[in-house]
Amino acid sequence: MTQFAMTIDGKVVTKTETFNVINPSTGGSAGQCPSGTVDDVNAAVAAAKTAYASWSITSDDVRKQACRDMAAVLAAHANELATLLSTEQGKPRGGLGADFELGGCQVWAGNTAELELPVEVIKDDNEGLIEVHRKPLGVVASITPWNWPLMIGIWHIAPAIRAGNTVVIKPSPYTPLSTLRMVEILNTVLPAGVLNVVTGPDDLGPVLTGHADVAKVTFTGSTETGKKVMASAAGTLKRLTLELGGNDAGILLPDVDPRQIAEGLFWSAFINSGQTCACMKRLYVHDSIYEDVCKEFAAFTANIKVGSGADTNSVLGPIQNAAQLAKVEDLISDAVDQGARIILGGKRSTEAGYIHPLTLIADAKDGMRIVDEEQFGPVLPIIRYSNVEDAIKAANASSMGLGASVWSKDIAAAKKLALRMESGSVWINGHGGLNPNAPFGGVKQSGLGTEFGTEGLKEFTSIQTLHA
Ligand code: NAD
C-alpha cells in the first residue's frame, strides 16, 4: 500500500500513527493518512517562516515561473492525482469529475502567472513622488474542505506563492491523501519550505489558524467553522479570506422553455453530486411552467448514472462522507413530513458506500429545512411562485449570499433582476460557472474577501505607500 507523507521544509515526514481515509464509493479504505501533531504544525510554520525570508524578495519573474512550473508538474502527474482524488473523494474521473478538477488546477496555477500587480503611481511631479507597492504578508495558512480538495488547494496556494508568501496547507481529514501527494509533487519545483502540508483531525485546524507566526488565513469550508477561524485569527489580527457556505437560489421566469433548460438546470444543481459551494440549492419556478419544469428536469436527471467513482459509466459519484449522507437523508425525510413531494430519487438502494440517488423535491416551501438550510448533496427543492417580487424576496431572505441565478429568454429583463440578488456572483441562464480572472466570493455569511484574478491576488498582499 502507498505510504502517504507530509512535506515539511521540503522533506518527507512520515508518522507511525495514521488514520484511515474512507473510499466513499465502497466504504472501504482509500489509504492511511499520517496523523500530524501540534509539533508538526509548529515545524511547518517555522519552515515557512524561514523560507519566507528569501522567497519574499525573489523577483516577480521567478514567482511567475514558479506558477508555470506548478501548472506543468500538475499536468505531468494529472493521471495519478485524478485517480487518487477519485478514490478518496468519490467523484468519477470523467465529465466534470476528477480529471476536470485536475484541469482546473492547471488552469488556475498557470493563469496566476499572468496576473500583474504593478506599482501604482499616485503622484509624480515637482513636489514629489507617491507610489503604492504591493508586499507579501508572510506565512499563509490554508484550510481546505473535502468537495474539491485539489482545486481549492490550488486556489489558495498559487496566488499566495505568486505574491511572495509561503504556505502551510491543512486539508480536510476526509480527503487528505491527494493533497499530500500534490504538495509532494509541487515541492519538486519550489524551494524547500515555500509550501508545506500537515494532515490530522479537525483539532489541528485551530492550532494552525491561531498560530502567532501565521500572517494570513485563507479558509474554505462551512460558515460555522469560518466563524471559529475568524475568532482564532483575532489574537494577532491576521488577514483573512473566508469562502463559506451557500444556499444559492435560482429563479426561473415564465418565458423559459422547460425542455431546453433541463440540462443546464441539472448541472447547476448537481455538479459533484451537489457538493459544491456555488451549486443551485433552491429553485424558484413560476406557477405557469411549474409542472412542465418538474417533468422535464426529472426526465433529464433520471437518465444520469450515479455510482462508484471507479465505474467509468458513472457520471456522478457518492456523497463524500457518512455525516453528510445522514444530513441529506434527514433533510429529505423532513421535507416529506412537511408535505413536499418527491418526484425523483428519494431513497438509497442497497448500494455500497455513500451513493445516494439524485433527488428532486416538488411542492417545497420556504420555511422547510430543505429550502432554508444548505443541503450540500444530490437533492434539490423546487418552490412554486406566482409573483417574481415574492421570489426575489425569498431568495434574498437567506443569511447566505454566495451565488444566485435568473433564467429567461429576455436577457435584459433577467439582468435587471440578477442585479437585485444579494449574492457575490450571479448568473443568467446558468449557475456556478467560474473563470480564473473573474472575482469570486460571498456576501453576508457566505464569506469575507475575494478569490481569483487580480482582486484575489491583492488579498495575499499588503499595501506599502512610498513617499519621496
Ligand atoms: P468544514 O467547515 O467542516 O471543514 C473545512 C476545513 O476546516 C477542514 O479542513 C476541517 O478540518 C477544518 N476545520 C474544522 N474545524 C476547524 C477549526 N475550528 N479551525 C480551523 N479549521 C477547522 O467544511 P466541509 O464540510 O469540509 O466543507 C463543506 C462546506 O464548505 C460547505 O458549507 C460548503 O458550502 C463550503 N464550501 C465553500 C466554498 C466557497 O468557495 N465558498 C467552496 C467549497 C466548500
Dump pLDDT digits (tens) for 403-448. Answer: 999 999 999 999 999 999 999 999 999 999 999 999 999 999 999 9
Closest residue CA from atom 30 of ligand 1: 221
- Whether 147 lines ligand 1, by a CB cut-off of 6 Å, is yes
All residues at 6 or more sequence positions from 371 whose CB lies less than 8 Å from its CB, including other chains = 282, 364, 365, 381, 383
327 CB less than 6 Å from ligand 1?
A: no
Q: What is the pLDDT of residue 2?
A: 86
Domain boundaries, the chain: 6-244+446-467, 248-428
Residues of the chain with pLDDT under 50: none
- Provide the pLDDT for residue 61: 97
What DSSP line would sit under 55-123, residue for residue?
A: HTTS-HHHHHHHHHHHHHHHHHTHHHHHHHHHHHH---SSTTSHHHHHHHHHHHHHHHHH---PPEEEE
Position in ligand 1 atom list of the atom nearest CA 206: 19
Q: Which residue has the least CA distance to atom 43 on ligand 1?
A: 277
Distance CA 236, CA 211 (A): 9
Q: How many C-beta neighbours within 10 Å does residue 115 have?
A: 21
CATH superfamily of 248-428: Aldehyde Dehydrogenase; Chain A, domain 2 (3.40.309.10)
For ligand 1, atom 22, which residue shows the shortest CA distance?
A: 205
pLDDT at 294: 98
Q: What is the pLDDT of residue 426?
A: 98
| 244 CB near ligand 1 (under 6 Å) | yes
DSSP track, 273-285: GG--TTSEEEEEE
**Pure H helices in 192-289:** 204-209, 223-233, 258-270
- Write the DSSP symbol of residue 312: T
How far apart, in whole angstroms, are the C-alpha atoms of residue 440 and residue 451? 5
pLDDT at 349: 82
Whether 351 sits among the annotated catalytic residues: the reply is no
Architecture of domain 6-244+446-467: 3-Layer(aba) Sandwich (3.40)
Catalytic residue selected from 184, 243, 329, 459:
243
C-alpha cell at 297: 428536469
Is 223 strand, coil or helix? helix
Buried b (16+ CB within 10 A) or exposed e, 273-296: bbbbbbbbbbbbbbeebbeebbeb
For the beta carbon of residue 99, count every other beta carbon within 10 angstroms: 20
C-alpha cell at 286: 413560476
Smallest Cα–Cα separation from 332: which of 321, 347, 320?
A: 347
Q: Is 25 in the pocket of ligand 1 (CB under 6 A)?
A: no
Residue 353 is predicted with a pLDDT of 94
Q: What per-residue confidence (pLDDT) applies to 351?
A: 73
Which residues, 6 or more positions from 62, have their beta carbon under 8 angstroms from its beta carbon?
none
Name every residue whose Cβ is closer than 8 Å to that of residue 444 and which is 6 or more positions away in sequence: 398, 399, 400, 401, 422
- Using alpha carbons only, what angle is made at residue 391 by residues 404 and 268, rounded to the nearest 5 degrees? 30
- pLDDT recorded at residue 271: 98
Q: Is 314 in the pocket of ligand 1 (CB under 6 A)?
A: no
